[in-house]
Amino acid sequence: MSVSKIELVDHRTGELVNASLRHALTVDDLFAAEAHWGPIRLQAIRRLFGEGLPPEKIPQHYHWNWGRKQEHLRFLAYQCIGIECQGDMQGLMMVNLATHFAQFDPDRAKPIVYINYIESAPWNLAPFVKEPRFGGIGTRLFSAAISLSMSEGFHGRIGLHSLPQSEYFYSGICGMTMGDPDPGTEGLRYFELTRDQAKAFLQGTPRP
């Protein structure tokens, strides 16, 4: 497992804090993260439903379980990357390196890194908590996916299907091209990052 140093924003102080980007997480890592996240996520969901929050405001990934997603790691195509800070896993991402291909020009049909799942720990997300702890997790993981795509010879190309609540993050912050809803993924909209968009993202300043 390789580890690189990054920084996150501590929302409690407004300052940058050191964190570790961990590559090639193991099945045990995912079980450990879910054992920590799961009860907090469940408690938050019960509170939100109890408070009468409209369904469209409930985080759409509330049912995710990384203990189940670990089954993908049996296949060589899949990798998991995580961010650790102050002793806790702050974010997770699962990617597929082998079975997805670009849908847009100029690199149509060429291989991409496909992001299957990306999630911040529940204590970093509103409305799970009123005061999120750390910021910048999504952009740091997205940047890691670009770097992985570069190292695989894919020139930064990335693809994914987004939950509706996350569409602005991918189009407005990450600069991805928005595709059409995909009936093969329960109508989730497809997004893709071209090689030029990848360069633009890495040259810019990702927003927390």
Residue 181 and residue 188 in contact, taking contact as beta carbons nearer than 8 Å? yes
The whole domain housing 137 covers: 3-203
Number of domains in the chain: 1
Three-class SS state of 119: strand
Q: How far apart are CA 151 and CA 11, in angstroms?
A: 32
Q: Is residue 77 part of a domain?
A: yes
Radius of gyration of the chain (CA): 17
Q: Is residue 156 part of a domain?
A: yes
Structure tokens at 180: 């059409």
Q: Which residue has the tokens 């990798």?
A: 79
Residue 100 and residue 111 in contact, taking contact as beta carbons nearer than 8 Å? yes
Q: Is residue 169 part of a domain?
A: yes
Q: How far apart are CA 28 and CA 2, in angstroms?
A: 16
Q: Residue 44's domain is classified under what CATH number? A: 3.40.630.30
Q: How far apart are CA 196 and CA 156, in angstroms?
A: 8
Three-class SS state of 109: coil
Q: Is residue 173 part of a domain?
A: yes
Q: Is residue 107 part of a domain?
A: yes
Long-range pairs for 183-186: beta carbons < 8 A, 24 or more residues apart: 185/161
pTM over 0.85: yes
Residue pLDDT tens, the chain, 208 long: 689 999 999 999 999 999 999 999 999 999 999 999 999 999 999 999 999 999 889 999 999 999 999 999 999 999 999 999 999 999 999 999 999 999 999 999 999 999 999 999 999 999 999 999 999 999 999 999 999 999 999 999 999 999 999 999 999 999 999 999 999 999 999 999 999 999 999 998 444 4
